[in-house]
Chain A
Amino acid sequence: MWSFALRRALATLPTLLAVITVCYLLLHATPGGPFDGERVVSEAVLANLQAKYHLDKPLWQQYLLYLQALLQGDLGASFRYADWSVNELVAKALPVSLAVGATAMLLSLLLGVAAGILAALRQNTSVDHALMVLASAGHTLPSFVVGPLLVLVFAIGLRWFPAGGWSDFDPRYMVLPVALLVLINMATIARVMRGSLIEVLHSPFIRTAHAKGLPLRLVVIRHALKPALLPVVSLMGPLCISSITSALVTETVFSLPGLGRLIVNGAANRDYTLVLGLVVLITVIAVLLNLLVDLVYAWLDPKIRY
């Protein structure tokens, strides 16, 4: 197990390095650097600025210095927000994204697995069909269509929740964004869970469990659930990646001051350094989450860690 974990962990390094390198080179290939703006500055000031940001050194040295700063956790300075470093902006935005994202992920796992079990046990009944139609809708309807519709119905129509914004982790502001994320993720989880549970329920060891007289509830909980959950676990990796996409949309729809909003605004303002820092940070988070999912999967299913 440990050697497998180590091998998998090492395999993520090239990915991370590739992303960081490509992003960094893109930043440098972009015409119009931070310091050749409209303001005319004296030669000496310019030289000072260039020395401070290592622009007087060759590109490979700049790159190594950037990597060194990254390793120390320094994402650089924002190009637009004068008094803010990217780290400070992230420190303000990350808890918001984390609160909404983690709540949504937990809820969609619980509800998705429950819906999948229900649909599998009631296969080909109206309950099953209704759940699967709902799941298809959640699967195909784009989040940025469903989001505004939720606002239209629950915020503008019924006035149950605020239409957007954020107020210091007030749960009322979290309901609609979390609901949107849950609707999207739950659909995928429920479909996979239903399929895999149906498959497991047809296997011989389940027939044995039935044959020795276990009630259905125990057959499902003790025997069928664990193997049926494996595909759901392997789904979590891609789901984490797509959740980042959904987070961008959700935070835009509900104007939450999270990482997604920060990066979208940064892109609109052409805040190069902020976007670069955030892309690197979020990619690292995504790759690490993927690694975690892989390790959990290997821990659950010994066939994987050859």
Chain B
Amino acid sequence: MPGSTPRSAIEAAAALADAPAGRSLWSDAARRFRRNRAAVAGLALLVLVSLACVLLPLAWPHAFDDTDWNAMSQPPSLVGWHWFGTDDSGRDLLVRSMVGGRVSLTVGLLATLASCTLGVAWGAIAGFIGGRVDALMMRLVDMMYAVPYLLIAILLVTFLGRDFHLVVLTITAFSWMDMARVVRGQTLSLRNAEFVDAARAIGVPTGLIVLRHIVPNLMGVVVVYTTVTVPGVILTESVLSFLGLGIQEPMTSWGVLVRDGAAVMEASPWMLMFPAALLAVTLLALNFVGDGLRDALDPRER
């Protein structure tokens, strides 16, 4: 766009658009989020669990694959630094739970990041181009919904082997459709919004419209759906591992630990209780945070 007039016009328009709100969407949302006690508690818990998973194994006297032949299947006790007890080869459950948590959370983050990127790109392209391309792209999403994803995941794992990256990839492949749908819907309505028409009328190039007007308005739903995706992704990894098709020994994850615990729960119930509780608490906390963010960011709520 040559000349300086349009540029300043854009800035004027942008300033005008921002002015009446008084505070930005984000500070407003942060205020709403802080007022939601369940969400704040969930966030605190998540930070606590993540910090413990990252830091505790560094400082703990046992390593996650250390076998202690003097303390096999020992119930939880403060003696000998086995607070969560040990498994049948004397490995400390607390440090295993933390290392397992690292894996579960890493898979959760990586797969969420990948699936949300894919979902946003897919939805935004479909919504912005519209027409036949949109119909075709969304048809594929519908198709993916009808397929029981866990079966395809099992198929992939059977054929290609059990590998950390493959687990992430498989989970990604079946968790991006919600995001794509939501982003497409939002893009579609934004494309026809008056302020986009206005921007177009004053000659803002398409690229700049997308960057300045579409993307910022998508951020809300993207953030909300990203947080909603995390627990689902962690759950999928755990289910795969629980079925014996995910992370492999000696590496571990919460799903693997629950599986191992369930196998010996009659003799050593702590083996099931601690990892199950950690997983359940983390999932609940993630859900609370997700609900809190949705309430804070959903424009329909105000």
Most chain A C-beta atoms within 10 Å of own C-beta, residue among B156, B158, B238, B261 = B158
Give, as a whole number of angstroms, the nearest-CB distance from B283 to chain A.
5
Asked whether any CB of chain A lies closer than 8 Å to the CB of B45, the reply is no
> Of all chain B residues, which has the CB nearest A27?
B159
Which of A151, A253, A267 is the one whose CB lies under 8 Å from B157?
A267
Q: Report Cα–Cα, A151/B264, bound state, in Å.
A: 12
Q: Which residues of A are found within 8 Å of B279, using beta-carbon distances? A: 142, 145
> Of all chain A residues, which has the CB nearest B148?
A244
> Of all chain A residues, which has the CB nearest B152?
A279
Give the residues from 72 to 119 in chain A that come closer than 8 angstroms, CB to CB, to chain B.
Answer: none
B14-44 vs A, Cβ < 8 Å mask (1 yes, 0 no): 0000000000000000000000000000000
Q: Report Cα–Cα, A268/B240, bound state, in Å.
A: 11
- Indicate if the CB atoms of A15 and B265 lie closer than 8 Å: no
Q: Report Cα–Cα, A141/B255, bound state, in Å.
A: 13
- Chain A interface, >50% SS class: helix
- With A26-B155, A267-B158 known as contacts, the answer to whether A14 contacts B143 (CB < 8 A) is yes
- Indicate if the CB atoms of A268 and B148 lie closer than 8 Å: no
- Indicate if the CB atoms of B148 and A282 lie closer than 8 Å: yes
Asked whether any CB of chain A lies closer than 8 Å to the CB of B266, the reply is yes
A28-39 vs B, Cβ < 8 Å mask (1 yes, 0 no): 011000000000
- Indicate if the CB atoms of B143 and A144 lie closer than 8 Å: no
- Indicate if the CB atoms of B287 and A140 lie closer than 8 Å: yes
Give the residues from 239 to 255 in chain B that come closer than 8 angstroms, CB to CB, to chain A.
Answer: 239, 242-245, 255
Which of A15, A18, A149, A266 is the one whose CB lies under 8 Å from B158?
A266
How many residues of chain B get a CB closer than 8 Å to chain A's CBs?
39
Give the residues from 214 to 256 in chain B that come closer than 8 angstroms, CB to CB, to chain A.
Answer: 231, 235, 238-239, 242-245, 255
Give, as a whole number of angstroms, the nearest-CB distance from A90 to chain B.
14
Q: Which residues of B are found within 8 Å of A70, using beta-carbon distances? A: none
- Indicate if the CB atoms of A19 and B147 lie closer than 8 Å: yes
> Of all chain B residues, which has the CB nearest A263?
B154
Which of B151, B255, B265 is the one whose CB lies under 8 Å from A152?
B265
- Indicate if the CB atoms of B262 and A148 lie closer than 8 Å: yes
Give the residues from 248 to 306 in chain A that come closer than 8 angstroms, CB to CB, to chain B.
Answer: 248-249, 252-253, 263-264, 266-268, 270-272, 275-276, 278-279, 282-283, 286-287, 290
- Indicate if the CB atoms of B280 and A244 lie closer than 8 Å: no
- Indicate if the CB atoms of A248 and B150 lie closer than 8 Å: yes
Q: Report Cα–Cα, A275/B148, bound state, in Å.
A: 14
Q: Which residues of A are found within 8 Å of B266, using beta-carbon distances? A: 156
Q: Given known contacts A245-B239, A248-B154, A248-B243, what 16 new A-B pairs fall within 8 Å (CB)?
A: A15-B147, A26-B159, A27-B159, A29-B159, A140-B231, A141-B283, A142-B283, A151-B265, A241-B145, A249-B242, A263-B154, A264-B243, A264-B245, A266-B158, A282-B151, A290-B146
Q: Residues of B with Cβ closer than 8 Å to A?
A: 143, 145-152, 154-160, 231, 235, 238-239, 242-245, 255, 258-259, 261-262, 265-266, 269, 272, 276, 279-280, 283-284, 287
9 tightest CB-CB pairs across the interface, nearest first? A148-B262, A267-B158, A145-B276, A144-B242, A244-B148, A30-B159, A15-B143, A245-B150, A279-B151
